[in-house]
Structure formats: C-alpha cells, structure tokens
Amino acid sequence: MSIFPKDFLWGGAIAANQAEGAWNIDEKGVAITDTTQHGIAKNEHDEEVLPNTFYPSHEAIDFYHNYERDLELMAEMGFKCFRTSIAWTRIYPTGEEESPNEKGLHFYDCLFDKMLALGIQPVVTISHYETPLALHKKYNGWENKKLISLYIKFCKTIFERFGDKVHYWMTFNEMNNTQTIPYAAAAMDLSGSYSHQLSQIYQAQHNMYVANALANKLAKEIMPDAHMGIMLSLSQAAVYPASPKPEDVFGALQLQRRTFVSSDVQLKGCYPGYVKRIWDEYNVKLDITDEELDLIKKYKSEFLAFSYYRSSTFEDGMKIYGDTGGVVGKPNPYLKNSAWGWPVDPLGLRWMCNLVQDRYDCPMFIVENGLGAVDKISEDGKIHDKERSDYLKKHLKQIGEAIKDGCKVIGYTWWGPIDIVSAGTGEMNKRYGFIYVDRDNDGKGTMKRMKKDSFNVYKEIIETNGNCLF
C-alpha cells in the first residue's frame, strides 16, 4: 500500500510577483513588490519606481510570456497541481477602480486553461505580497479597514471569473509574517512606540481575519464546492528551546503563539486568551467590533496551508527577528545550514504536521518547502544538484511519516520548481528550481530553461506516489 493518498496533490509553487515579470504590461498597476530592489523581506522599499534603477521583479523570469512552455515542463514532471497567485494589480491596478482590468483577467483565464489542459489543478493564493502600492501609500495597507471592502471586491471578481476552474484557494500568503516583515505581509510601515507598532500589527491581522471570513462567506455563495484555506509560515512556529531552562522552554511556546494566533482565530473562530494578555500588558489598542467577531466565528476556514523551510532555537531574552524563511534564532549544533544559513531540519516538518493535527484536526497542505542553493553548470553541460534532491527526499520522507502518524496532509508543492527571484533577497542566484533559468542577479542572461538532475528525481517520486522514498 502507498503511504501517500492516491489523490495526493503533488506539485510546485510560485508567486506572481517573483515569476511573471511584465510589471507594467497590459495595464497592470504598481504593486508593493515593484518598488523593492533587494527583496521584499527587508522592509526596505522606494516610495515610487525610480528611473534607471534595477528592480529584479520587473522582468523576473518572464513567466507572463513563457508560462505555456514552463507549465509543459511541470506536466512532464507529473504535477497534479500548481500553486500561483493572482496579481491584485493586474485586476485592479490601484485597488480602487470600479471595474476590473479585462486584460489581466484574460491572462489568468489563459493560464488556468493551460494548466487544466495539462491535467494540472490550479491552486491560488489570492494575495501573495502583491498589494497595490497605491493602497500602501493611501492607507498604510492593512492597518486600515478600508482594505477589507477593496479586497472583497477583488475576491468577488476572481471568484465569479475563475470559480469553475480553481477549487483550492488561500486568502493570504503567510499572514503571520506581519509580525516580522510587515511591508510584505500587510503592505504597511511601522512607526512610533513599541506599543503602537504592536497595535498596528494586530490591527492589520484582525482586518485580514475579517477579510478572510468575508471571503469564505462569498466563496460559499459563488463557489459552493471550493476549498478555502489559510496560509501561514510554520517556520515561524518551528521553535525549539535553546536549553531545558524553563524560561527558554516557555519563551519558545510564546514565540510559537505569535504564529498560532492566526490559525486559532481563523480555524477555531475566536481569539485565544493568551493574545488578550499581550494586548493588556503592552497597551495594545484595537478597533474590533462584535459584528466582526461574529463573522470570524461563523465563517471559519477549511484547511491550513503552510510553508516550512527551517527550524530555529530560542534563548530567553534574545531579540526576535525573522525573514521569509522563518524566525532567526540561536545556532543549532545538531543541524547543518544551507548556503544561505538556513538550518536543514526534515524532522521539524514532521513535528509541525503533528502539532497542526493535534491542535486543529483539519486537512493540511504543505505549499512551500525547498532549498535555495548555488547551481553551477558542469563540464558535461548539466546541473548535478544532489543537495537539492537529498533535501527533497528527506523532507518528503518525513511527510510520509507524518501521514503514518495520522496527519491529514492533502498535498505538497515544492517552492520554486523553476528558478525565480528570491523574495528574501531579490537574487536569482539563490536557486530553488528543478528547472534552471539563465538569468543572474543583474538581470543578464538568455532566459533559457534547462532541467537539473532534481527534475527527474521529483518526477520519479510523483510517478511512484512517493513509494520510491521508502
């Protein structure tokens, strides 16, 4: 018998802003990502697109014009699904237009039609670090409740247009990253005292919880058979205490709760007690209404999708910061690091699956997991990326163990099955893909695609439904 379910969703994942390019083509508006030169995770950005300035995402890998061939390569690997996002600014360039941009809608019609023709299910993140820049400048992003209605207008448009083609949806990408990279996750800048910054963070998260509930409500009305999920970074929650010292152990728990508050609210339907203590102790001031709490309680999400790249360790008193990979903690002497300093911890992924199962007993979808590495073309003209293949196999084996533990894992999409621009650093040389793209950090290259050795490794895994791992 196969360990992985027969209908397991094998695939890969990208984000529109890291792959599509075509940043100002066909009436697309400017997104927050379009003003970042060195990745969106640094919370550093220009107020406008500056002339004569290189922005890696502006051309990216030009998936916008190459998606047909790229998807054919995904189908050759045997993909059952492909996760991408719908760039908000392709549909509503500033977010406040009354009518959607038909050219943007047409592109996604063609994209989803190509996937379906290849037997690949579209999996869509509605908002993946692509908030219109105009909404950041006018409202400071999700700090303002005005974004709720604008987001729901966007949802209504894409649900009505693509509801018969897309059946798996996630409302926001890594919403819990509002805690560490607020510009990316919530399109806002923090200011003032620590108390005020916490108020901004929790208000933005609350506004997204309300938007998530309203999107779930709308989906039930327009797409009764759709599956609506949330998406979080569980690398932020994969925190070990640095020692048995009680303060380290309890501090690690508190750090985990910064992530689990988002899933507690959206999967259980109410705020947990521990977050209310934080609000009291730090004098956090929020605008929360009874009507909004009723919506959150009534329209919960169905599944938890998550990213997992690494674990971290917490020591009492340490300063907490993070990036797109998760919390950056104390060095773990039991783990090896990637070329970018990320600890490689496959067992941590099984641990996260079990935590989710015990806490929520809901379906889970691992929609980001991967290894950023330096790839070199060998003398034989090929890329022998054994490190990536080993990372893939070790993590998938632990997912299999989690399934044997009773975890309801419905799918797995490797992050960046084709090389794309790094969200964390803006680099192309930090490569995740099974497919190489000839483009460097300065935007030079032919854009030619080439299979790496890992391409066939993943192909065999999918062909055997994971049986070759055991």
Known catalytic residue at 59: no
Q: What angle do CA 396, 62, 36 make, to 5 degrees?
A: 85
Beta strands 9-13; 81-85: pairing state: parallel
- Residue 3, class by beta-carbon neighbours within 10 Å (0-12 exposed, 13-18 middle, 19+ buried)? middle
Rounded CA-CA distance 56/175 in Å is 24
Distance of CA 403 to the CA centre of its chain: 22
Residue in the structure block whose two tokens are 């806490």: 359
- Tell me the β-bridge partners of 9: 411
* Residue 265 DSSP class: I
- Return the bridge partners of 307, or none: 233, 368
Distance, in Å, from the CA atom of 214 to the CA atom of 210, rounded to the nearest integer, reads 6
User: For residue 80, which of 71, 93, 69, 68 has the smallest C-alpha distance?
Assistant: 71
> In 10 A of CB 428, how many CB atoms?
22
Q: Read off the DSSP letter of residue 42.
A: G
In this structure, how many other beta carbons lie within 10 angstroms of the beta carbon of residue 189?
Answer: 15
Amino acid, res. 83: R
* Nearest Cα residue to 35 out of 52, 58, 15: 58
Question: 130, 143, 368, 401: which one is catalytic?
Answer: 368
For residue 365 the two structure tokens come to 């979808």
Task: State the number of CA atoms in the 13 A half-sphere of 348 facing the CB.
Answer: 24
As beta bridge partners, residue 117 has none
**DSSP E strand stretches across 141-279:** 168-172, 227-233, 239-241
Find how far residue 337's CA is from the centre of its chain: 22
CB 369 within 8 A of CB 326: no
Amino acid identity of residue 193, one-letter, is S
Q: Do 349 and 407 meet the contact criterion of CB atoms below 8 Å apart?
A: no
Q: How far apart are CA 468 and CA 125, in angstroms?
A: 30
Instruction: Retrieve residue 120's tokens.
Output: 């690949």
Taking the CA atoms of residue 33, residue 39, residue 41 and residue 44 in that order, the dihedral angle to the nearest 10 degrees is -80
Q: Please give the positions annotated as active site.
A: 368
